[in-house]
Every structure is written in C-alpha cells, then in structure tokens.
Amino acid sequence: MKLCRLKIILYCLSLFSYIAGAAEHILDAVQSDATSADISQQGFDWTPYQKAWHDDVQLHGFLSQGLFNSSGNNVFGNSKNSVSAGLTEVGLNISYQALNNLSFALQGLYRRAGESTGSAGEVSLDFGFVDLTLIDLSAIRIGVRGGRIKNSWGLYNETRDVSFTHPTIFLPLIYFERSRSMMLAMDGGQVYADYNSAIGDFSFKFNYGFMNDNKELLLSITANPNVGGHLDPEKSFMTQLRYDIDGGKYIFALSYADINMGYVAYGAFDPYAGMQTHIYPIVVSAQYNGESFNLTGEYSYQWNEFSNFSNRADARPISEHWYIQAGYRLLDNVEFTVRYDASVQDISDRKGELFQQLTGLPSHLAYTKDWVVGLRWDITPAWMVRTEYHWIHGASMVSALDNPDAMNIAKDWNIYALQVSFRF
Amino acid sequence: MRQYFMGKGRVLKIYKVCRLIIVHALLIYTPCSLAVEVITHTDASVSLTQVKDLRAIFSMRLRYWPDGSKIRVFVLPDNNALHKKFVKEKLHMFPHQLRRTWDRMTYTGTGQPPVTVNSNAEMLEKIQNTPNAIGYIEINEANK
C-alpha cells in the first residue's frame, strides 16, 4: 500500500517534470523570437541575458544532533541516568522553479530518534510535490500542489524536524512526538490561497489525502505492547487559516484536521480486526514577535473515536493540550525561552484514575505538565547551539518504545538536553 | 546574433549601469551613521516607495515585476549590520521575522529564499550583472 503510493508520487513527479521540460523548450523558443524582434525595432538589445536553468534551482539542507540526560524516564534512547545521543536529524532538499507558475520541490530526511527509528535511523521522503499556481496577481495567489505535502498544523508542525525553526529542542506537547509521523505530511493534494491586504496577510491551505500510519499511536490506542497489525490510513484532510499582521509581528492561526485510520489485522485471531480510529483536532494559535520579546500560546482540543473493538467497548476521549511560551533576546543572537505546557489524554479523566482502572497502568500516563527553560545561541546564521531543562509532572508524553516497562514509568522527572545544528 | 551582441558590448554595459535605478524609499538620512538604499536592476517601471511593496518582495510573496520577469532578490547575512539596518528601516520588520518566513518556504518546499551574498561589494556586483535583481547597499558606496 505504502510502496504503491510512493510509486504513484514518483511517477507523477517524473511525468510533470517531463511536461515542464517540454513546455520550457517551447517557451524559450517563443522568447528568443520575441528578443530578435525587439533588436530589430530598437537597434540594440538590452536583455541579452538568457535564463539558465540553474538560476532557478536551489539546494538547502540541515543537520542537528541532540544529547539527552534524564531522570526517571528515557527520552530518545537510553537517557535515564545516562547520556543519549539519540536524536539526529539530517535533511536535504532541492527546489526547481521551472516556469513562472510551475515548480517542483523534494526533501529527503534521515532521522534517528531513540527506539522509534532504531539505532540505524530511518530515511524518508519528507515532501515531494508539484506546485501549480493558477492565479498570481500582486495581492492574490491561488494554486494547487500534488504529491507528498507538509501539513500546516499549528505554528511548528510543518517544519518540526528543522531545529532552527522552533524555539526549544522538545516541541510543545501539542506536537505530540508519538503522533509525529501521522501528522507530518499528506499524500494527496493541496489547494492554497494567499491574500495580502492593507490589514495583513491571509494564508489558507487545505490538504486532502492520506496521512501516514504510526506504531506509537497504535500502542497508545490499544495499550497493548503485543499488538501485531498496523494502522491503515484512510482519506483525511487538514486545513489551516493563518493571519499575519505587520510582516509577522502578530500571527494568528486556526487549524483543523479530520484523520481516519483503519486497521490491518495480524493473523485470523487479531482482537483489533475491524478497529476504526477517527481523530479530529482543532488548534488555535497566537504569537507576538517583537524586537527582543516574543510571546506564543496555542490551544488544542482533540476529539478521538476508537471503535469496533472485538474485545472492549468503544472509547471517545477528548484530549486537551495547551502552552504559553515567552522568549527574550538578551542579544540579537542569544535568546532565553520559558514555557509552561500542559496536556491531558481525556478531559473527563484529568488525573488518570479511570485510565488506571481500565488498563491497570499508572494513572500518570494520562497527563503531563512541563516547565521548560532554554537558552539558544545562533553563533552564525548557519550554526546554532541550544540547551534546555525540563521539570515534568506526569508521563503521557513518554515513548512506550523507549520505556517498555510501563509499570515503572516515573511520575516526576527531569530532562536536560543540548543540541547543535547546522543549515545551509 | 552572437556577433551582434559582441559588437554592442560596450553600449550594453553602459546601458546596464544606467539601468541601475536607485530608489529613494523612505530614507531617513542621519549624517553620522551609514545609510541604506534599495537598488534594483530592472526595466519594469516600478515605484518602490511603499513599505508594503518592499516587504512583499523581500518576504518572497511578490515574485514578479509588473512586466512578468522573475524578481531576483539578494540579501546580506542575518547577522550583517547593514542587513539589520535595512530590515528595520526599509521593511519596518526585524531580521528574525524575515528569517521565519524564508525558513518556512525553504523547508516545506513552498518557495525559494533570497540569495545571500557575503559583502557589500558582492551585492553591488550581483545587482549590476543580474537583470531583474533587487538588493540594497550602503549609500556612500553607491555615490563613489
């Protein structure tokens, strides 16, 4: 299923690049005719410059390595009372503006993130799509994209693996690490519209297609480490309306998603055969970016429906995540950040008592409260180093893969983290 | 065709320099500090007197000159003093706001960021030799 979809994407990309190549040849021929006509009329030619293809190709990338030390629970590998170098992110992208209204972009990602990727890490196609602008006026741009497209979700989801683009090493709990691969990108299409007005810039995106399946999410839904099958992505959408005032001094965004997953059973007696997952979260985001002070808040309210179990009743928990974060630039390139972050898996069971009764697991797996302080130093525009400390109460965010012994997951714990990043 | 170009090479070059329009956009001149000016190399008749137009260009939202040619944007590095001055005075923004916008485009594939040059001299050279370019320079250098 997954391989088949990848093949379709690659086929579409190659087809489009062929069409674009042919179209460009025709356009070049037309342009050179026009140029010679100009020469004869004006006596001299002031545009001898022939556009070379490499002027419209850009290559960019990033690389980051994290170090983690924690008490109580593991993060990104074996960090408990030890040091783990378990988070490595390497990305390389190429973009090609083939025509004024047609472009291509592709990014490969290598990621090693504790047990969820294994010690060898994983290589994936992060995005790869064709972008066709249908309307491009000075204030309005409307277009479509097809392929694998990043999901605009809250303020940080679409660039969550690019350390430079978010303020702390650990993202806020809204961007749940175990939902990462599900939320990351859409295999399908996007309609986008940008409108730049006197009162600010509006940006709308609507992604439709298939999300990616996720082992950690499955473990969390079933609360069963021995579950054998895997989630099967079904048609889903994700949409965002974003409003930037004064060049991004104030940013407001509203995001909504409707995610559906089936289940591919493992063997004939799999108790989860027929299970359906339906998740539909909404996120409200607001940010102020001053010269030296910034303030960010995001609130997420998430409806979950887990149904058609053969061995237990349907569940409809509502999860809630929110945070407030303040940053202050001590110097132009040194920033201090403090954040309070809170998350509950089910708002009708904030202390996890019901969860404990149903699953027999510790109640603190149902919530997390996290205080973070961090310091970021952009040594040069290409190099950045940062460090942070977390005081955490609760453990809903711990990875079941990094912490297989659920009964021994600590309730109050801390993380110290350090990260070095490079980009070009 | 090629011969034609070579024969007119001299004219071409002079003409190009004439085409280096210096746009006076909201210049606040203070004699004791360096001043920054927007420069363009374009045949399109544009008036870049409004902050919102410059913002749209340097945020890579406005991608084409009125004649349809692609705008080639050049900037200095984020930590360059002239860049900081330019962003504050001409765009009424902060460098980190621009960087956020460029990063989002770059690492989602939805756009291409400006080309970064490393010195004022390289900036001037790029603008002179790249049709449809836009950038900025220290005003004293431009007057030399």
Please report, in tens digits, the pLDDT of each residue of chain B (144 residues total): 222 222 233 333 333 443 444 443 333 344 445 789 899 988 766 777 788 889 999 999 999 988 888 999 999 999 999 999 999 999 999 999 999 999 999 999 999 999 999 999 999 999 999 999 999 998 864 444
ipTM associated with this complex: 0.84
Q: Where exactly are the structural domains of chain A? A: 1-42, 56-423
Task: Please say whether the dihedral angle defined by the alpha carbons of residues B121, B124, B125 and B126, taken in this order, is positive or negative.
Answer: positive
Mark yes or no for CB contact A289/B97 under 8 Å.
Answer: yes
Q: Note whether residue B137 is domain-resident.
A: yes
Q: Do A246 and B15 touch (CB under 8 A)?
A: no
Q: Chain A within 8 Å of B96 (Cβ-Cβ)?
A: yes
Residue B79 and residue A107: Cβ atoms within 8 Å? Answer: no
Q: Which of residues 5-64 of B touch A (CB under 8 A)?
A: 5, 8, 11-12, 15-16, 19, 43, 52, 55-56, 59, 61-64
- Are the Cβ atoms of A48 and B5 closer than 8 angstroms? yes
| Structure tokens that stand for B38 in this block | 């927007």
Q: Is A71 helix (H, G, I), strand (E, B) or coil?
A: strand
Question: DSSP E strands: which ranges in chain B?
Answer: 20-23, 36-41, 72-75, 115-116, 133-138
Q: Is the pLDDT of residue A112 over 90?
A: yes
What tens digit of pLDDT does each residue of A65-104 get?
999 999 999 999 999 999 999 999 999 999 999 999 999 9
Position B5 in a domain: no
Taking an 8 Å cut-off on Cβ atoms, the answer to whether B109 and A138 are in contact is no
Q: Rounded to the nearest 5 degrees, what angle is found at the Cα of A328, between the Cα atoms of A323 and A333?
A: 120
Cβ pairs A/B, distance under 8 A = 116
pLDDT at B26: 35
In chain A, what percentage of residues exceed pLDDT 90?
Answer: 71
Closest to A131 measured CA to CA, from A144, A150, A113, A118:
A144
CA–CA separation, A271 and A182 (whole Å): 23
Buried b / exposed e over A240-264, threshold 16 CB at 10 Å, is bbbbbebbbbebebebebebbbbbe
**Residue A41: φ, ψ to 5°:** -75, -45
The CATH number for B97's domain is 3.40.190.10
Sign of CA dihedral B5, B10, B15, B21: positive
Are residues B97 and A332, on separate chains, in Cβ contact within 8 Å?
no
B85 touching A (Cβ < 8 Å) = no
Interchain proximity B108–A159, CB inside 8 Å: yes
Q: Least CA distance to B1: which residue of chain A?
A: A36
Residue B59 placed within a domain: yes
Partners of A91 on chain B (C-beta within 8 Å) are 107
Instruction: Give A120 to chain B, closest Cα distance, Å.
Output: 24
Contact A62, A164 (CB under 8 A): yes
Q: Encoding tokens for residue A155?
A: 């303020």
Q: What pLDDT does A5 receive?
A: 58
Nearest to A100 among B64, B92, B113 (CB): B64
Distances from the Cα of A125 to the Cα of A105, A407, B111, angstroms: 11, 36, 18
Count the neighbouring beta carbons within 10 Å of the beta carbon of residue A387. Answer: 16
Contact (CB, 8 A) for A248 and A217: no
Is the predicted pLDDT of residue A2 greater than 70, yes or no?
no
Interhelix angle B81-90/B95-106, rounded to 10 degrees, is 100
Q: Which helix (H) or strand (E) holds A289?
A: strand A276-289
pLDDT tens, residue by residue, A271-308: 888 899 999 999 999 999 999 999 999 999 999 999 98
β-strand partners of A33: none
A148 versus A311: the higher-pLDDT residue is A148
Place of tokens 């706001």: B97
pLDDT tens-digit profile of A113-137? 998 888 899 999 999 999 999 999 8
For the domain A56-423, what is the CATH code? 2.40.160.10
Lowest mean pLDDT among A127-131, A148-152, A223-227, A319-323: A223-227
Closest by Cβ to A46, choosing from B12, B62, B110: B12
Question: E strand or H helix at A15, and its extent?
Answer: helix A2-42
Domains held by chain B: number? 1
Q: Sign of the C-alpha dihedral, residues B11, B14, B17, B21?
A: negative
Nearest-by-Cβ selection for B1 from A36, A100, A164: A36
| Structure tokens given for B7 | 């024969």
More confident residue, A1 or A219: A219
Better pLDDT: B27 or A109: A109
Contact A264, A230 (CB under 8 A): yes
Domain range holding B54? 20-143
- Closest partner residue to A159 among B72, B103, B131, by Cβ? B103
In a domain, B26, yes or no: yes
Name the pLDDT band for A38 (thresholds 50, 70, 90).
very low
Per-residue CA distances from A403 to A81, A408, B60, B96, B132 (Å): 14, 8, 45, 38, 57
Buried b (16+ CB within 10 A) or exposed e, A389-398: ebebebbbbb
Which tokens is B30 given? 């203070």
In a domain, B63, yes or no: yes
Helix (H, G, I), strand (E, B) or coil at A365: helix
Taking CA–CA distances from B13, the nearest residue in chain A reads A46
Residues from chain A that touch B14, judged by Cβ atoms under 8 A, are none
- Answer whether residue A10 shows pLDDT above 70: no
Q: What span, in angstroms and rounded, lies between the C-alpha atoms of A24 and B21?
A: 30
User: How close is the nearest chain B Cα to the Cα of A46, in Å?
Assistant: 6
**Average pLDDT for A130-149:** 95
- Confidence label for A6 from pLDDT (cuts 50, 70 and 90): low
Please choose, from the candidates A299, A292, A350, the residue with its C-alpha nearest in 3D space to the C-alpha of residue A326.
A292
Chain center to CA of A330: 29
